[in-house]
Each structure stands twice: as structure tokens, then as C-alpha cells.
Amino acid sequence: MEFDTIEEARRVYNEYAYKLGFSISVASQRTSHVTKEVIRKEFECSHARKPNEEGGVSTSSSTQTAPQLAHDLETQRASKKKSASPAHMAAGLRDGKWKVIVMQPEYTHPLVKKLVRRKLLRSHRSISWADYELLKTLHHRNISTTQIMGILADFHGGVGNLTFSTTDVSNMRTHLRDFAKEFDYCVNHTETIDEFEMLRQKLEDKYSLQENEFFQSISSTRKMWAPAYFRTYFFPFTDTTGRSEFLTQYEYIMDTRAERENVESCKWEISYPPLWASYDFEKQAANFYTRNVFSKFQELLHDSRKFRMVDIAEDDESLSIRIVHPNSSRVRIVSVSNDATSYLCSCNMFARDGLLCPHILKVFTNRDVQEIPDKYLHRRWKMTGLAAEACSGPEKYTVASSGIDHLDKVDRKKSIMLQATEKAMKLKGTTKKKAKVPPCSYCHEEGHGVQTCKYMVYSRSNTQGA
């Protein structure tokens, strides 16, 4: 008897064991000294053990019944009965095929006779792909293990029809949590391409994902969504995003930007944000940034206290300052030009998010910098005009176009500008057909024009009063 793979050989022997009523496990395997691949593997009855020095084989009762044995397998695996069962099968790799070279069908232990109990044996417990997908969905919705078992039992017509136990489900959920944590760190917390690729490969090997279609699919397009590939490009406050999702979200942001501008402008007009430390550059940031972005800036400024400067190297053009965190071994390098007009950090946060990182802010506070250079005040976060200003002129889709070019480098049939023009023309045609009054060009609310806009009147009165 021969098989194409060792997995197929195990499956056939496990089915044979199921028909008889016992479980199997791997007894031993041998690898080639040259290629290091497995060339021989032996499977045995899971109750087998070598006789002790006195000739005994087990301290358990030899009259244990099959139902008791099945119960022990499920709830007391550590006390499972052992015997000198000779039942085993060995397969060896010969000319690219796995051939059965040893087959011993004899056994000396009681068998589980009822089919409903054989599924409790360890090698016969399994979670099907369909059950796994449902389990994973319920797990991500924080459904308890007991409730998950109840739902799966309903799908299969009762708990007795399940091919797995509560322990199996609990172990699978632990496996999912561990993988999620490691995958999240790999994607969202690596800063270089080499670091990301190293951890991705470790994940693939650790969880045996070489044949996982979904993992291999997203891995093949990782240059289009992994943040490590975009650390030096302007994608503010984003984690992972694919090309289509990027475009969809960009369109959504464009459509809702006017309302956000009104909200931010209202906050700016009626209140002044509290300052955290009263630095001159903090006051400058408060007068420039939108309220939400200034809050982020203050968080970064507050975080800068946790870092310390450990070393300064100077050359003819710049200073190189090493920044460390007491609870991390990672070292940041901040480069400062001799004229103090340029600040670059190895974390690339400004290039990505348009805000100075806490490492540069640490240098600001340590070296008593009074003012943020204009080039580090990104107009994307400017209070007057806000981000809508950057999305209303000829450069409307500049960021989107450049981002997509880096995401997939595919020659697009239509430019983003053309798509936007077609969309605007279509909306314009729809407006003419319905003879719908356009919204106010000042506040963007419907029902009135700029001549009767109360916000315009209020703005003019304030300007005249000033």
C-alpha cells in the first residue's frame, strides 16, 4: 500500500482506527541526514507504552470498560490507560511515494464500541472548515465559548453530533487570539520593510500558513496595504488599507469635509483650547491646527516627556541625537540641521501623518525651540480653510493619485481627476433635471442661498465689529 503524502497515510490509518474504536498518535519519525526531510514516520495506538522494568504495563485496571475509557479520554487524559498494545503502522518514503513498510493490526486494550463515543477519542476530534469559519465569526463578536458550543450544536442537530469538545473550541479561540496579537504587531507596529517581512515569514512558519489561501492572497499584495511600505508617504492616521478601500474612503472624506469644516470652525470661534505646558510653539500650534488635530499634537507633546536624549553626535551639517524610551530597546535618531530649520526622525511620523513626532518634540523642549518651522505646519491640518481647502482646487486628487501609483503601479484607464469630473457632470445634470435649488455656497446647507445665509451675515457683522 502506498500514498502520495504522509498526511494521506495518516488519514487512512486514523480511519481504520476509528472503525475499530481506538485513537492513534505519532510514535516516531526519521529525517534524512542529507535533505533533512522526513523519510519515515510511525503511528501507533495512543494507549501504547513500553513495559516497565518489572514487566508491568499499566497501573490502571485491566477491566476498564469502553464507556469509562471514552470518558477518561475526554476529561482525564493524564490518567489514560496504557498498555503494551502492539498496534502500529510505519510508512517510509520510497521513490517519491510513501509506502507502508510495517503494519501490526493486533491490540490488547479495550475498544470503544459505540460510534457516538469514538468521536471523543483525540485523533478523531476535529473542527471542520465550515465550523471553523462560524466559530471564528462568533469569536470576533466576543460570544462566550458556552454560547458558541450551543450555536454550533443547533446547526448540527445537537451536541452529540459535534466532532469536537468545549476544550477544542477554547483552545482554538486561544490560538486565534495569539495569532491576532502577533499579526497586529507585524502589520501595525513594524517600521521597516525588513522587520515586517521577517515577522511575516515567522508567522507563516509558526502557524503553517503555506497552504492557507487567504493568508497567501493578502501576502501577495502586501506592498499595496502594509504600512511598512508607506512610512515615508503621507497617509495620515491610517493602519492597513487596500487600494479599493483607499479610494472609497477618500471619496467619503471628500463628501463630508464641508460639514467637518463647519464643526471645527465653530469650536475655534467660540473657545480657545487649554494649553498643556505653555510653550511658545504649543501656542503657535493652537492657533494653526484644527481642534481635533491640536489635541493629537498635545498628546504627542505629553508623550515626549517619557523619552530622553542619550547621545549627540555633531558634524559639519547637522546634529544626530539618539532618543530612547526607558521601557523599550528601540532607538530613534533625530537629525537637526545646524541652522535649526530641519528636523528629521527615523520614525518618519511627519512624512506619514503630517505631525511632528514626540522624539522631535523632545528635542524642541530640551533645546528650548521657540517656534515650529513653517514647513512642519502641514496645511492639511490648517484651521482656516481646513482640509477642505486642499481638496477643492486643481490639486483635488493629487494625494489620491500619488497614493494609488505607489499602491499598485498599474496604468489606470481613467485618471482620478477625470472620474471626479464625470461625477460632477453627472450630479450637475441630475440637478438640472430635477430643478433642485443648490445648497448655500457659504455654509453648504440647503434651503437658502448665500444672499440670505445667516452664517454669512453673522460673519460680516463680526468682521465689521472688529
CA atoms within 13 A on the CB side of 305: 6
Question: Which grid cell is 129?
Answer: 472548515
Lowest mean pLDDT among 112-121, 250-259, 359-368, 411-420: 411-420
Our measurement of the distance from residue 77's CA atom to the centroid of its chain's CA atoms, rounded to an integer in Å, reads 36
Using one digit for the tens of pLDDT, what is the confidence trace for 204-263?
988 888 888 878 888 888 887 788 887 776 656 554 444 445 545 555 565 676 666 667
Q: Which amino acid is at 26?
A: V
Q: Cα dist. 19→62, 81, 120, 127, 284 in Å?
A: 22, 20, 13, 19, 78
Residue 125 φ/ψ, nearest 5 degrees: -85, 130
CA atoms within 13 A on the CB side of 183: 16
Helix axes 358-366, 291-303, angle to 10 degrees: 70
Pairing of strands 24-31, 2-3: unpaired
Residue ranges of the alpha helices (H) in 6-114? 6-20, 66-75
Torsion (CA) 289, 294, 298, 304 in degrees, nearest 10:
-50
Of 117, 43, 44, 26, nearest in space to 82 by CA: 44
Angle, CA of 351, 291 and 242, to the nearest 5°: 40
> What confidence score (pLDDT) does residue 360 get?
95
Using one digit for the tens of pLDDT, what is the confidence trace for 130-154?
888 899 889 988 899 999 999 999 9
Which range in 52-66, 213-227, 313-327 is most confidently predicted, on average pLDDT? 313-327
> What confidence score (pLDDT) does residue 173 get?
92
Rounded CA-CA distance 273/299 in Å is: 13
Angle, CA of 184, 294 and 328, to the nearest 5°: 40
> What confidence score (pLDDT) does residue 465 get?
52
**For the range 310-314, what are the long-range contacts, defined as Cβ-Cβ under 8 Å and sequence gap of 24 or more?**
none
Q: What's the whole-model pTM score?
A: 0.44
Using one digit for the tens of pLDDT, what is the confidence trace for 425-440?
766 665 555 556 677 7
Three-state secondary-structure class, residue 321: strand
Rounded CA-CA distance 22/3 in Å is: 22
Of 279, 301, 298, nearest in space to 290 by CA: 298
| Residue 63: Cβ within 10 Å count | 7
> What confidence score (pLDDT) does residue 107 get?
72
Lowest mean pLDDT among 49-53, 124-128, 281-285: 49-53
Count of helix runs (H) and strand runs (E) in the chain: 17, 9
Q: Cα dist. 265→100, 204, 294, 439 in Å?
A: 78, 48, 13, 19
| Residue 37: Cβ within 10 Å count | 8
Rounded CA-CA distance 385/277 in Å is: 27
